[in-house]
A and B are shown apart, each in its own frame.
Chain A
């Protein structure tokens, strides 16, 4: 099997807090890839953007048997050096401003996502 270390993965997340079951796996995969020493970025766009609004992710309980929330996963991703980026245009869709975002998320424009896609070894869409 090919060694994944150093490869670049871009995860595109288009699902948000209204569909909790679609929020967990993309972050889990991102964290797994980071644990395998890959360079990982999650790009939040469309509805995916709303999970980055302060105070929202902690309301999404992912597993009824534990206290793991979507916030736990976002935090774990950042702790594992997964870069979290959000689409500028999507922020406007949700009437969100920079100060509404949880800490550690950077805003990028649409052209950046094209560059990032071309420069990744693999892109995963959700």
Chain B
């Protein structure tokens, strides 16, 4: 997983990002997608206490929440970057929500989804160097504090 660190925050280059909503999409070989929060999102939220995902089978339109996440000082939705049906929920988050903090791009994924119109909606997301540039701009604009080291980041390269 080629990645780049911006102010300590990891951006994995082969994922697709909804930069403003701080979510990522991984396109899987079986036609599903895996969705999660970015390193920057978990950094902003702080230690996550609860993550409540929508159930498998739930239909989502792009922009609607796939989960609600709360930390001591923040609570908010994880907005779906795509439309589709949730096929699987990361059950581990129910007992260990801080997986999102420790491993936002791997063990801390939030849901898997069968996308409805992936070809069309993915065009609104950024990936690769464009994603790195977009996050550089966002981190500078929003004055985002440095991210701490996440689990396994060294193995991404």
Given contacts A28-B75, A80-B76, contact A37 B70 (CB under 8 A): no
Nearest residue, chain A, Cβ from B69: A35
Q: How far is the CA of A53 from the CA of B20 in the complex (A)?
A: 31
Q: In the complex the two chains form, is A36's CB within 8 Å of B73's CB?
A: no
Chief secondary structure at chain A's binding surface: loop
Q: How far is the CA of A31 from the CA of B70 in the complex (A)?
A: 10
Q: Are A36 and B65 in contact (CB under 8 A)?
A: yes
By a CB distance below 8 angstroms, the chain A residues around B73 are: 63, 66, 68
Confirm or deny: B77 has a beta carbon within 8 angstroms of a beta carbon on chain A: yes
Within 8 A of A (CB), among B62-95: 64-65, 68, 70, 72-73, 75-77
Find chain A residues with CB under 8 A from B64 CB. Answer: 37
Give residues 79-99 of A contacting B (CB, 8 Å): 80
The answer to whether A32 has its CB under 8 Å from any CB of chain B is: yes
Q: Which residues of B in the span 40-79 have a Cβ within 8 Å of any Cβ on A?
A: 58, 64-65, 68, 70, 72-73, 75-77
Nearest opposing residue in chain B for A37, CB measure: B65
Q: How many residues on the B side are at the interface (Cβ–Cβ under 8 A)?
A: 10
Q: Please report the C-alpha to C-alpha distance between residue A28 and residue B74 in the assembled complex, in whole angstroms.
A: 8
Q: Please give the distance in Å from A3's CB to the nearest CB on chain B.
A: 8
Chain A residues with a Cβ closer than 8 Å to the other chain, count? 11
In the complex the two chains form, what is the Cα distance from A63 to B73 in whole Å? 8
A79 to B28, CA, bound (A): 34
Bound: A31/B75 CA distance, A: 7
A68 proximity list for chain B (CB < 8 A): 73
Q: How far is the CA of A66 from the CA of B74 in the complex (A)?
A: 12
Which residue on A lies nearest to B77, using beta carbons?
A35
Q: Name the residue in B58, B70, B77 with the highest tally of chain A Cβ atoms < 10 Å from its Cβ.
A: B77
A36–B77 CA distance with the chains assembled, in angstroms:
7
Find chain B residues with CB under 8 A from A37 CB: 64-65, 77
CA distance A35 to B75 in the complex (A): 7
Q: Mark B9-41, 1 if CB is under 8 A from A, else 0.
A: 000000000000000000000000000000000
Q: List residues 3-62 of chain A with CB under 8 A from any CB of chain B.
A: 3, 28, 31-32, 35-37
A121–B20 Cα distance when bound, in Å, is 32
What separation, in Å, do the CA atoms of A69 and B76 have in the docked complex?
17
Distance in angstroms between the alpha carbons of A74 and B88 in the assembled complex: 35
Question: Closest approach, in angstroms, between the C-beta of A78 and any C-beta of chain B?
Answer: 13
List residues of B whose CB falls within 8 A of some A CB.
58, 64-65, 68, 70, 72-73, 75-77
Residues of A bordering B, CB below 8 Å: 3, 28, 31-32, 35-37, 63, 66, 68, 80
